[in-house]
Chain A
Amino acid sequence: QLQLQESGPGLVKPSETLSLTCNVSGGYMYTSSYYWGWIRQPPGKGLEWIGSIYYSGSTYYNPSLQSRVTISVDTSKNQFSLTLNSVTAADTAVYFCASLGGSGWPPIDNWGQGTLVTVSS
């Protein structure tokens, strides 16, 4: 069973860059047919997909965030990362990392516990 754990600053200033890392344990990231993704949830609101990276390195982003988002993988550390540029208060949310495994278009089958990031000066 994979375990995922987010880490990074809990407070980011407006216009700056949000950076989070997800550490994966219990399995090797470079696994065929796995996606690694980021999801966020503003306080009291629903889930929003940020983007994902496929085991092959292909990235897929939410069109509404695409211009500000980068997801990358460091397989040597079994980690993947999220950067979100030019943040505003609207980016305040709990950020989850997740894995998606299976054939075709798979579900999110493992989640990190989530980390709250607040955008404020």
Chain B
Amino acid sequence: SYVLTQPPSVSVAPGKTARITCEGNNIGSKSVHWSQQKPGQAPLLVIYYDRERPSGIPGRFSGSHSGNTATLTISRVEAGDEADYYCQVWDISSDPYYVFGTGTKVTVL
């Protein structure tokens, strides 16, 4: 089965840049999506198809990927960005199914 590995935690000061990585075999060939989840809430899509932002998501959120790593970048971090973040892809190597990354807790210092 396809595995997406994220760092368990990332800490960042307000106003700085947070980068969350997502490692998977040849992930650069897949469409990567990212979601944010705050405590007690359902996740919220923040980046889809690698670098697209849904309406209402600030431009401070951006995505990129190449080779075996995808990255979610949050610029000018705010206290409200503190949350868990999950990368996602579809694994279509056999019957298609959706894969979540292990998740990263972003802490704003």
Contact = CB atoms under 8 A, between A and B. Distances in A.
B86 A46 contact: yes
Interface residues of B, number: 28
A89 interface: no
B98 A37 contact: yes
Interface in B45-89: 45, 48-49, 54, 84, 86, 88-89
A30 B35 CA distance: 25
A43 to B, nearest CB: 12
B95 A109 contact: no
B40 to A, nearest CB: 9
A112 B31 contact: no
Contacts of A61: 95, 97
B86 A49 contact: no
B99 A49 contact: yes
Given A105-B96, A107-B33, 12 more contacts: A46-B84, A46-B103, A52-B98, A61-B97, A102-B48, A107-B35, A107-B48, A107-B88, A108-B35, A111-B43, A111-B44, A113-B42
